[in-house]
Amino acid sequence: MPTTASRTVLSLAALGLLAAGCGDGSKGSGASEPAPDTRPRALEVAKAWDGSSAAETWRAGYYPLGDPVQLPDGAFHSGDDKEAYLTQNFTLRGDLPRTSRKDGKVTWRDGDSLTLPLMEARATYDRLDGSDGPGPRLTVTGAKLGETTLATSRGPATVPAWLFTIEGYDTPLKRVALGPSRPPKPPIGPVGSPTAELWELDRVVGVAADGRSVTVRAHHGACDDGPAVDVLETDGGVVLSGYMVGTRDGLCTSQLLAENVTVELDRPLGDRLLLDAFTGRPVRGAE
């Protein structure tokens, strides 16, 4: 599967996980071993969700699959601006508006809609500005309430968004002003501890405009050749199975990495459930 070069490093100790394989620098047999058979578990997850009350609840709710932030046109003007965004380093210059509206409406292309609590501009800004550290910053000078389009578990939807004016940019940075619906209790439990054969996926990065591919953040260890993701498609769901490839024998440093992996689908995702074989749950989106 194609992957990006960008990686995220997390603490294995914080997750209570042990890295699988490697560490002594010698190549084990993992690199030439056949890929694990992920199909039995994927089928088990697909069958558990098919026709379940959890699936009905999921299809009736709002669960975003795309990035809740839409960058200004031409972003970014400089490496410093990009670093500021990635490190969540923002400065607020001026006041943010308040609104008397308490609710916002999600509207799908088929006309269905759902009303959810609307986030105030300040609360939405706080989700952008997650750092008080040193380094370059982006300056927000104002905001107004508007809309944006976002991929969801039920297809593209129009949702309320706060449009933040960024110093130096002609168009606003848009940030979705709604949180997802409460997820249902899954009809199947997780596998247990991660192994080289199956790892939990991190999150959905995005869905292609035509629905024919999905990009997810997939975990792997510090001493392997990266992640891979298998796909099982049914009429009601798409089950993704993440695992590591090219593992090495021996001890490994305590790091958990993540890379973007894009998987191609035989037909558009549509309103089919996007499921994680390891957890038995829908793959979460960014919030």
Do the beta carbons of residue 224 and residue 268 sit within 8 Å? no
- pLDDT top residue among 132 and 62: 62
Q: Are 211 and 252 members of one domain?
A: yes
Range of the domain at 170: 69-176
Distance CA 63, CA 155 (A): 10
Instruction: Please list, residue by residue across 100-128, b when 16 or more beta carbons sit within 10 angstroms of its beta carbon and e when fewer do.
Output: eeeebebebeeeeebebebbbbeebbebb
Q: Are 93 and 167 members of one domain?
A: yes
Assigned token pair, 18: 């042990």
Residue 28 domain flag: yes
Find tokens 């047999």 and name the residue.
29
Q: State the average pLDDT for the chain.
A: 85
Residue 136 domain flag: yes
Do the beta carbons of residue 159 and residue 148 sit within 8 Å? yes
Q: Are 82 and 160 members of one domain?
A: yes
Q: 134 Cβ partners below 8 Å, 6+ apart?
A: none
Query: Interior CA angle at 151 toward 145 and 156, to 5°?
Result: 85
Residue 162 domain flag: yes
- Work out the burial of residue 163: count CB atoms within 10 Å of its CB; fewer than 13 is exposed, 13-18 middle, 19 or more buried: buried
Q: Are 45 and 74 members of one domain?
A: no
- Last residue within a domain, chosen from 176, 202, 224: 176
Q: Look at strands 213-221 and 237-244 and give their pairing.
A: unpaired
Listed range (38-47, 179-188, 191-200) with the worst mean pLDDT: 191-200
Q: Are 127 and 171 members of one domain?
A: yes
Residue 286 domain flag: no
Residue 193 domain flag: yes
Q: Are 25 and 118 members of one domain?
A: no
pLDDT at residue 66 in the model: 86
pLDDT at 286 over 60: yes
Distance CA 94, CA 232 (A): 50
CA distances, 286 to each of 65, 66, 283 (Å): 7, 7, 10
Give the tens place of pLDDT for each residue, 91-130: 999 899 998 889 999 999 999 999 999 999 999 999 998 8
- Helix then strand then coil, in percent of the chain rounded to 5, is 15, 40, 45
Distance CA 115, CA 179 (A): 11
Distance CA 36, CA 93 (A): 53
pLDDT at residue 223 in the model: 72
Query: Interior CA angle at 72 toward 69 and 77, to 5°?
Result: 120
pLDDT at residue 257 in the model: 78
Give the tens place of pLDDT for each residue, 214-256: 999 998 767 777 889 999 999 999 999 999 887 666 666 667 7
- pLDDT band for position 196 (50/70/90)? low
Q: What is the CATH number of the domain that holds 160?
A: 2.40.128
For the entire predicted model, the pTM comes to 0.80
- Last residue within a domain, chosen from 130, 149, 176: 176
Query: In Å, how far from its chain's centre is CA 195?
Result: 21
Q: Are 155 and 81 members of one domain?
A: yes
Q: Are 80 and 219 members of one domain?
A: no
CA distances, 248 to each of 28, 30, 195, 257 (Å): 4, 6, 13, 16
Assigned token pair, 137: 């910053």
- Last residue within a domain, chosen from 111, 144, 176: 176
Q: Count of domains in the chain?
A: 2
- pLDDT top residue among 19 and 141: 141
Q: Is 58 helix (H, G, I), strand (E, B) or coil?
A: helix
pLDDT at 2 over 80: no
Residue 281 domain flag: no
